[in-house]
Amino acid sequence: MKYGDDYRKIPMYSKESGKGTEFLPDVYVFVDQIVNVLFIGRPEANSFVIVDTGLYKRSEKIIEAAIERFGAHAKPSAILLTHGHVDHVGTVIDLVEKWNVPVYAAEAELPYLTGQKSYPEPDYTAEGGLVLKTSKFFPRDPIDLENHVQPLPEDGSVPFLPEFKWIPVPGHTEGQTAFFRERDRFLIAADAFVMTKQEDLYSVLTQKKIISGPPRCLTPDWVSAKEAVVKLYNLRPQYAVSGHGYPMSGHELLEGLKDLIDHWEEKALPSHGKFVDDSDHQ
């Protein structure tokens, strides 16, 4: 296994970095610099699942968070990857080597997780703030997990999480995946939508709470991206965690999603950039 050749530390931290919060009794959200890492499982349970693995060279922080939540002998049953961008897979090899656990992702995302395909170069020319402008320096080479990553089951089930189903939400990436639990209508949204404005440096650093579209610099398919948000809204989630920003619930969540969909062109779609054309604004 190997990380991308251009992987490096990203020196960007939010005020919540290093903090863990129990969002639901079996959902622990750990903020790694600017991205959410999820631990699914009650603290008294013998097993848990990690969803996404934070940024490069941060495995010690993820392991410390697991120990804080589950105890000194903590070991996950599996790692789920919503997609393969560096801020979601940055420690996965280290964690696999430490714990010898399986990794799962959607089959459509596997080429980007096994060294076969690279993501498009970020669109740092799109409408947005300073974070977007600096995206030209973001790593984009593919990670190679070799045979340590497996496709999620075709029937929509989620290994080791029997109450969940996985949902394809392409747009931000070809094989991006969300996870949903019907019992309490809990949604793991990946970066289909995020809960802070990811292009704006102030919002990223302060984690200013707002439902926003997927990160503009790294979303090549805006038609599919909107369809993904509509699909997730139609689930009527009551609780949600996305890849970035504070978790949300209830009326705030649903109204925020509806407002994003109703005002997609103003709030999500860039007015210009290499990933948009005139047809996207019709």
* pLDDT of 8 strictly over 50: yes
Query: How high is the mean pLDDT of the chain?
Result: 89
Query: Coil, strand, or helix at residue 149?
Result: strand
Do 187 and 232 meet the contact criterion of CB atoms below 8 Å apart?
Answer: yes
The H or E element spanning position 105 is strand 103-105
**Max intra-chain CA distance, the chain:** 55
pLDDT surpassing 90 at residue 217? no
- Report the share of the chain in percent with pLDDT over 90: 71
Across the range 127-150, mean pLDDT stands at 73
Q: Read off the pLDDT band of 122 (50, 70, 90).
A: confident
Helix, strand or coil, per DSSP, at residue 266: helix
